[in-house]
Amino acid sequence: MRTQVGIVGAGPAGLLLSHLLARRGIDSVVLEARSREYIERRVRAGVLEHPTVELLREVGLGERMDREGMPHEGVSLRFDSEEHRIDFADLTGRGIVVYGQQEVVKDLVAARLADGGDVRFEVSGVRLDGLTSDPVIHFDGADGTRGELRCDAVVGADGFHGVSRAAVPHTTYDRQYPFAWLGILAQAAPVREELVYANHPDGFALYSMRSPEVTRLYLQVPPDTDADDWSDARIWDELHRRLGTEINEGPLLEKGVTGMRSFVAEPMRHGRLFLAGDAAHIVPPTGAKGMNLAIADVRVLADALYRLVTAGDGSGVDAYSDTCLRRVWRAEHFSWWMTSMLHTDPAADAFDRRLQLAQLRQTVRSRAAATTLAENYVGLPHGSV
Distances (CA, A) of 312 to 302, 304, 306, 320: 14, 10, 9, 15
d(CA 131, CA 364): 49
CB atoms closer than 10 angstroms to residue 103: 20
Residue from 99, 197, 218, 320 carrying the catalytic annotation: 197
Q: Which of 99, 177, 207, 377 is catalytic?
A: 377
Active-site annotation holds for 289:
yes
Find the catalytic residue in 51, 135, 285, 306.
Answer: 285
- Closest to 315 measured CA to CA, from 325, 327, 303, 326: 303
Distances (CA, A) of 188 to 185, 209, 214, 315: 9, 9, 5, 51
Q: Pick the catalytic residue: 12, 289, 320, 343?
A: 289
Measured from the Cβ of residue 309, the count of other Cβ atoms closer than 10 Å reads 20
Q: Would residue 377 show up in a list of annotated catalytic residues for this protein?
A: yes
CA pair distance 337, 340, nearest whole angstrom: 5
Q: Active-site residue 218, yes or no?
A: no
Known catalytic residue at 51? no
Per-residue DSSP letters for 229-263? Answer: GS-HHHHHHHHHHHH-S------EEEEEEEEEEEE
Write out the DSSP string of 310-335. HH---HHHHHHHHHHHHHHHHHHHHH
Give yes or no: 138 in active site. no
**Active site residues per annotation:** 72, 197, 285, 289, 377
